[in-house]
Chain A
Amino acid sequence: MTLQVENLKVYYQTLRGDVKALDGATFTVEDGEIMGLAGESGCGKSTLNNSLILLKPPMRFVGGRLELDNEELPVWDMKKMNNFRFKKISTIPQYAMDAMNPTRKIGKMTSELLGSRKIDFKNILPELKRRLDLVELSYDVLNMYPIELSGGMKQRMVMVLSTLLNPSLLIADEITSALDVSTQKAVAKMLVEFRDREFVKSLIVITHDISILYQIADSIMIMYAGKLAEKASTEVIINSPRHPYTKLLISSLPDIGVKYSQKKLKGIPGKPPLLLDPPTGCRFRERCPAAFEKCLNEPPFIEIEKDHFVACWKEFKKNA
């Protein structure tokens, strides 16, 4: 089991109190699993990413236990985490296109980066070149400044850099959102290939585009307002979702072949609650078409079928 997270709580400290951006997340990512993480903006998906890789103020670690490869992951300790970052756990940030130092040539930057982890650039150069071949970048990029590369090329360069030390877990945060469809597809396929070639053991892919996840992910986890709503295998989430939020989210996606004049799609009315002072009970209650009195209590995140977790009272009732 690569990553095990138990009841992780991370709040943002503000002058008006804590913003409960991630409030009790429990999940596991298996070896070789590509887990997709989806939800609306502000639901806590990027907070989850940041708390696994760089938990810095105003973020505050409130509680929870994390294990990576059966070893405790001390996310609350900036210094101790240095032993894990880049080597064991790595990220491709949302701003991957601007992630490289603009004042250094890419090769020089890479060597400095490796130097900071006390790894010799020369030893790793052959492997680096092999991987550049794989993502169809020429070796010349190492002698170029980031500004000389196109957006897609920079993205691929950062992908190679992030995975250079074969981390156990790679988190890709919205890396395909700024790309157009044909490049998007190539980048998504590359993520799968990196997993297949065991450059990374497992992956968390964060995006708000569920259709991308359907193409590449093994399992999908849906978040809503800082809580986990549902987690199951990709097929199950897409074809037989159980949480009302997941159902609405999937039905609001336009597909090729759907036309306004023939079938009018609906969005989800209302907006997510403010997390500064979230309502008690189920956080989706206000927008949920199926809400009933029990929803005033908070639903637990329970496994209703094998590997299918849901946090919704209605679904527990059906199964009971």
Chain B
Amino acid sequence: MLKLEKISKIYKTGTFGGKELQAVNNVSFDVKGGEVISLIGESGSGKSTIGKMILHLISISSGAIKFNGIDISTLKGNALKDYYRDVQGVFQDPFSSYNPIFKADRIFKIIREEFFPEIKNPEWKKKIDSSLRAVGLNPDEVLNKYPHQLSGGQLQRFLIARALLLDVKFLVADEIISMLDASTRIDVLNLLAELKSRGLSILFITHDLSLGYYISERAVILYRGCIVEIGPTEQIYYHPLHPYTKLLIASVPRLDKKWEEVEVKLKAKYSELLTGCVYYERCPFADKDKDCAERPPLIETESGHFVACSHYMEVNEHA
């Protein structure tokens, strides 16, 4: 359905834009219809940048994103609008996604003006009602209110309802539950899982591995803009092959197991290692004589499970 082909993003930084920062580096993966893919990485790994590129909010430096075979970077005007009928995003902070001066349901009005000017009032009301109920909200309780009168979980579900109004096929969910409380968090997650069973594809961007495991079939692990591991979630969680994935999984706070005494190296030396393995500085297995000085390609180890590490065999034995 959605295909990312070797996309990269380079931001210009520095006072006069003289420096370059490669936020996303040669990333390719695809999302099938009705599939949830988690995009997991730490801050600065480029996960939000990928989400924004899919949503056509920022330009792609190189490579292409294809939605049902059409390259989205060429879309303009009406074609772009049609694209947004199918692809929508929900973002991390529900509180700043609204204009505090207007009532929260203004987001629905804008959708109507833009996309459905021909629909009559009663029919429109019915449509809003059903999409609000689909996200587990009671329309009488939440309509006609200002953003500050609604809780974070409600606002977040409002935004998902807005995406549902358009009958989207693909949803980019960028850290949508990290600002919510534990008790409401799981409701929003369950909602996503339910929408998935109705055929919606979701790109679930998160830094929390347990949440990613809960709803997704496949996971993509990003490190400094590169995919280091991609595969079915079970494989990634139970048999991680890349040292970084291993570190991530060991650092997740769990309720059934205490952290082992693994030292987390904080000093990531950000040298401009442009050619070698991106994880070189932090990797306990790194060895310049081995192939780490060259960027390792993604190797398929089992069906559908790819890893970018030149000595994943050794890493695996170590565990």
Contacts and interface: CB of A to CB of B under 8 A. Distances in A.
Contacts of A266: 186
Given A181-B42, A181-B209, A256 B182 contact: no
Contacts of B184: 267
A214 B257 CA distance: 9
Contacts of B254: 211, 214, 255-256
A320 to B, nearest CB: 30
B190 A264 contact: yes
B253 A152 contact: no
A53 B190 CA distance: 39
B90 to A, nearest CB: 18
A183 B214 contact: no
Given A136-B266, A254-B186, A182 B213 contact: no
A255 B151 CA distance: 25
Contact of A183 (B178, B249, B252, B266): B266
Interface of A: prevailing SS: loop
Given A214-B258, A215-B259, A254-B211, A185 B251 contact: yes
B152 interface: yes
A257 B212 CA distance: 10
A214 B183 CA distance: 18
Contact of B264 (A41, A185, A210, A268): A185
Interface string B180-222: 0111111101100100000000000001111101110000000
Nearest to A212: B253
Interface residues of B, number: 40
A136 B256 CA distance: 30
A208 B213 CA distance: 20
B216 to A, nearest CB: 9
Interface in B249-285: 249, 251-256, 258-259, 264, 266-267
B248 interface: yes
Nearest to B264: A186
B59 interface: no
Contacts of B67: none
Contact of A211 (B151, B181, B255, B264): B255
Nearest to A262: B214
A304 interface: no
Nearest to A261: B193
Contacts of B70: none
A181 B252 contact: yes
A208 B207 CA distance: 16
Q: Rank and list the top 10 A-B pairs by shortest CB-CB distance, nearest first.
A: A180-B42, A211-B253, A267-B187, A268-B183, A185-B251, A180-B207, A260-B193, A181-B251, A254-B214, A267-B186
8 contacts: A180-B41, A183-B264, A183-B266, A185-B251, A212-B253, A215-B258, A267-B185, A271-B151
